[in-house]
Every structure is written in structure tokens, then in C-alpha cells.
Structure 1
Amino acid sequence: MRLFLIPISARRTLIYGQRLNKITHAQPSLADKASTRASQLWLKWESAEKGWQKRVTEYGNKLFNRIPFEEWGLKSIPPLSARRQADEIAGAKIEVVYPPSIISSSSVAGLLSRLSTERNAVHRKRLIWSLIGMPISAPFALVPVIPNLPFFYLAYRAFSHWKALEGAKHLGFLAANGMFQPVPSAALDEVYTRHRKAVTIDARALKAMTSVEWTTTDAAEVIKKARKQGPPVAEEEDVLLLREQDAQDIAQVVDVPALVVECERACRQVAAQMQLQAEQESQTIRVDKANESAEKKKL
């Protein structure tokens, strides 16, 4: 396995596990059989030209895109079985590829440790609620023709949260035992450099089009803050380090095609969250100003 750390913003980092040589078992587990069967059925429904199967996959894919990118990242890390643990203890360290201009080598261990624990409470809680909801939705199976979609969705979410927890457990094992080897990637750095240049050009163009002074966060300052990779600090501004269109370049330079979808999803989600936060902060400022103005009128 090889791990990739892809900073999306100054505070948010995508982790992705690439399986280099998948461990084969003489007898596939029940979970593997169910997952394979579900994937085949979903592909069959997607290939339908029309009908309720096609509509189900369209709505389902929209729901899947709403699943946090952090969950998808942890799911890419395989569960820590006894055999895998023994192989990793006896074998070479796991490579962790990262852009050195964003993440310093000394902060890799802390970042891996944080990513292995920060969402565990969320996944445990939602796993429990999914398991509780499954028997409640079971009577929908009595509806003819259409399968019990609520039950299958809750079953999928339970399995997804379980896989994320197992991936986090594996990641925590690697971080706690120092069983990783930081590998700085100059190729990844080039993608982030191109993004910073694009941001600078956009800033200059906007400033040239306006008659007022316009300032933006200095790129070097953003990178300096991003290197810390610690818990979010309220005083620090979160800034996007990648755009959705950079995903193709990220996947190409590390030769991992699956990273295209993962990076696109992460960039899209982080950008939407930052926009929502900015709108909320703007609304709060407007309310505060209105309240302040009302207080002055009373005086």
C-alpha cells in the first residue's frame, strides 16, 4: 500500500490509500461477496436506458457525491487484518507521498494521527443509527416490484462507516508505530505552484479592473499556515490550495487515475463549505451592523 496526502485547503487534507498488491484470500469474506454483488447490480442498473432502475442510480449517485470526502479517503485504506499487520511489521515501511511546499516532513506523523481520529466519533454514531434503522425499514420489503431501497441504503451506509472506521484504525496503527516513510513529491509541488500562479494572475486582473485598492492573502503566507496542518484555528483564514480542474493533473503526476474523482469531490465539497461559511459570516456582520445602528438610534 502507498498513501497520498493531498492538501485541498489550508486546513483540509485528502488522504488516499493505493493498494499495490491486493492480498488474495482462498475464501472471500461475506462482506467481500456482498460488496461485489452490489457493485455488479448497480452497474447493471446504470447501464439501463430508462426505467426506475436508471432513476434510482441517478439519485443514488447524487447521494454518494454528498458523502464527505474524508470518509471516501479512509475507505480507500484497507482494514487492518492480522495477516496484513504481520506483513507490515515484517516488511518495509509504507510510503506517504506529499507536496513538500505544503506539508513539512516533520508534520506528516501528526497529520496522519489527526486524520486517523478526527472523524471516528461521527462514523461510530452514524454506524449505530444506520444499524438501528435497518430493521425499522425492513417492512418496506413487502412493497411489490420495487426493492427495499431504504433498507439497502442504510445497509450501505453502515458498511461505509464501518470501512471508514477500519481504515482509520489501520492509519492510526501506522502513525503510532512510525511504520511510514515520508516521500516528498516535486511533481505534486508543480501542480500547487501552477495553482498559486493562477490565483496571483486572477488577483492582478481583478485589481486592474477596479478603481479601489484590492488585496488578497499572500500565497507564501497561505503555504506557511498550511504547513502547520494542525486543528483549525479561528484566527487563520482557510484558503483553497487546489481547484477542481487541478484533479486531473494531480492524478497524472502520481499515476493514480482513481485520484481524479477523489480530488474533484474534495475540491467541490470544500469550496461549497467555504462559500457557505463566508455567506454566514457576511450575514452575521450585516445583522450586527443593523443591531448596532438600531442601538445608536435609540440613544
Structure 2
Amino acid sequence: MRLFVIPISTRQALIYARPLRRGPSQAPSIHEKITQKAAETWAKWEEADKGWKKHLVSWGNRVQQRIPYQEWGLKSIPSLESARRVDESHGTKKVDVLFPGNAIRPEKLRTMLQAIATERQDLHRRRMWLSLLVTPLTIPIGLIPLVPNVPFFYLVYRAWSHGRALNGSKHLEVLLERDLLNPTSHPGLEELYARRVSYALESTGVGKPISEMVEEVEKSDDRLLLRMKDAKKLASILEAPDLALEAERAIIQVEEELKTQTKKEGEDGTSDKKST
């Protein structure tokens, strides 16, 4: 398994685990079979031209876009048990963590990963159990003929999603506790971020030394670093096709957050001027 830490802005980063490669003799788990079946069913529904399937897919895609990118990132990390089923030696050897050294200071990477691993654990645990507790209340809706029990399936999905994110965060925490992470600044990421940091901070030149560039990133306010077209570049650089979608989702969410923050600060500034 390999972990990637992708700075989306100067203050926010996406963590992503490249999917484990299962050996030809290893049978998929029950969880993987269910997930695959659900994905195939959803793909068929996406082909519908009209009717409740089309409306459900449209609504479902919007819901997924609103799920925080942090949750998607943690979900990409398999549980420790799942990783061990694929590789028995997992948990005893180092795991590479690739990141751009000119956007994240290596000495601070561990602190960042510790925060990613622990900050949302309570949230995912609470919402997983809440979804499971509320799910039985939706069962009567399933008695209505020809109407899919959307609330039931939504709550089951959210419970599963929070559970996956919780397991991923615990796995990352174990790797940190056992000192099994091997941070490595990736040359391809450095090249991409040299241009993006230079553009975002304006005063920073592309050819600046890594130590100076990362220092300016740390001193700056929160600014978006990546553009939508960078998502596919990242996937290509790191040889992780599924990363493109996760990066796009993170870029959209962080950009919206920063715009909202800027708008709020502008409104607060206007209010302060009026009060004086």
C-alpha cells in the first residue's frame, strides 16, 4: 500500500491510499463482493433515460459530491484487517508516504497525518451509530408498493461510509504509533507544486529552493493551490487513476469553502465600517 498526501490549499490536504493489489489466488471478501455488486447496479441505473432510477441517481450523485473530501480520503485507506488479508506482512514493514516537499515541510508531515487520523474519529463513530439507530424507523416505507425505500438505503450507505472512514483513520493511527511510515518527497509532485505555489503566492519564483518555498507556504494565508485540470495530472504522476475523482472533489469543496470565507470576511469588514 502507498499513501499520498496532496495539498489542495496552503492549509488543507487530501490523503489517499492507492488500492491494494490482490494476488490472483486471493478470493475477494464478502465486503468487496457487496461493494462490487452495488457499483454494478448503480452503473446500470445511470443508463436509465427516465423514471425513478434516473432521479435517484441524479440525487445520489449530488449527495456524494457533498460528502466531505476528508471522509472520502479516509475511506480509501483499507482497514488494518483488510490490508493484512492481502499482505500478511502488512503492519510490520514501512509504508511509503509520497508528498511534495516544497508544499509540506517533512518535519511537520507526521503532525499533519496525526491530525488527519484522529480529528474526525469521534464524528465518524457518532454518525455511524446514529445512522444505524435511525435505519429501522424507515422500514415501513418499504411496504409501499413500487416505491424504493430511499431513506433506508441512504442511511445504510452513510453508516457504511462513516464506518469505512473510521477504520481507515484507525489504520493510519496504528501506522503512526508503530512508526511504520516512510515519508518521501516525490520529484513529480515537487515539479507540479513548484508551478502552483509560484502562481498562488505570486511572489514565490518557480526556481526557488525547496526550503524557502515551503516556508512561504507556511507563512501565507489559506490559498487554493490546485486547479481542476491538475487532478488528472496527479493521477498520472502517481499512477493512481482513481485519485483524479477524489482530487477533483476536494478541489471543488476547498474552493467553495475559501470563497465562502472570503465573502464572509468581506461582509464582516463592511459591517465594521458601518458601525464606526
Instruction: Tell whether the structures are fold-level matches, with TM greater than 0.5.
Output: yes
Same amino acid, percent of matched pairs: 38
Tell me the CA shift for residue 271 of structure 1. 0.5
In 1, Cα distance between equivalents of 2:16 and 2:35: 20
Q: Can you list the C-alpha shifts for 1:141-174, whole angstroms capped at 9, x where unaligned?
A: 0121121011000100000000000000000001
Q: Can you list the C-alpha shifts for 1:227-272, whole angstroms capped at 9, x where unaligned?
A: 59xxxxxxx6211121222111111111111111111111110010
Equivalent in the alignment of 2:98: 97
In 1, Cα distance between equivalents of 2:265 and 2:83: 50
Q: Does structure 1 retain, via aligned residues, the 8 Å contact 2:196–2:226?
A: yes
Q: Does structure 2 retain, via aligned residues, the 8 Å contact 1:9–1:242?
A: yes
Tell me the CA shift for residue 191 of structure 1. 1.1
Tell me the CA shift for residue 196 of structure 1. 3.5
Report the AA paired with residue 192 of structure 1.
Y
Q: Which moved more, 1:60-69 or 1:236-245?
A: 236-245
Equivalent in the alignment of 1:280: 264
Q: Does structure 2 retain, via aligned residues, the 8 Å contact 1:10–1:223?
A: no
Equivalent in the alignment of 2:171: 170
SS at match of 2:6: strand
Q: Can you list the C-alpha shifts for 1:83-126, whole angstroms capped at 9, x where unaligned?
A: 72962244x31110111111222222222211101111221221
User: TM-score, normalized by length of structure 1?
Assistant: 0.82
SS at match of 2:49: coil
SS at match of 1:50: coil
Equivalent in the alignment of 2:39: 39
Report the AA paired with residue 107 of structure 1.
K
Runs of at least 5 residues in structure 2 that lack an aligned partner in the other structure: none
Q: Does structure 2 retain, via aligned residues, the 8 Å contact 1:107–1:227?
A: no
Task: From the CA coordinates, give the structure whose radius of gyration is larger.
Answer: 1
Equivalent position to 1:223, from 186, 192, 214: 214
User: TM-score, normalized by length of structure 2?
Assistant: 0.88
In 1, Cα distance between equivalents of 2:10 and 2:118: 19
Equivalent in the alignment of 2:61: 61
In 1, Cα distance between equivalents of 2:221 and 2:19: 35
| CA spacing shift, 1:83–1:44, aligned 2, 3 Å | closer
Alignment of 1:142-161 (within 5 A): 142-161=143-162
Q: Does structure 2 retain, via aligned residues, the 8 Å contact 1:113–1:176?
A: no
In 1, Cα distance between equivalents of 2:83 and 2:275: 63
| CA spacing shift, 1:195–1:55, aligned 2, 3 Å | same
| Count, aligned residues | 268
Equivalent in the alignment of 1:213: none
Equivalent in the alignment of 1:76: 76
Compute the RMSD of aligned alpha carbons: 2.4
In 1, Cα distance between equivalents of 2:39 and 2:147: 18
Equivalent in the alignment of 1:124: 125
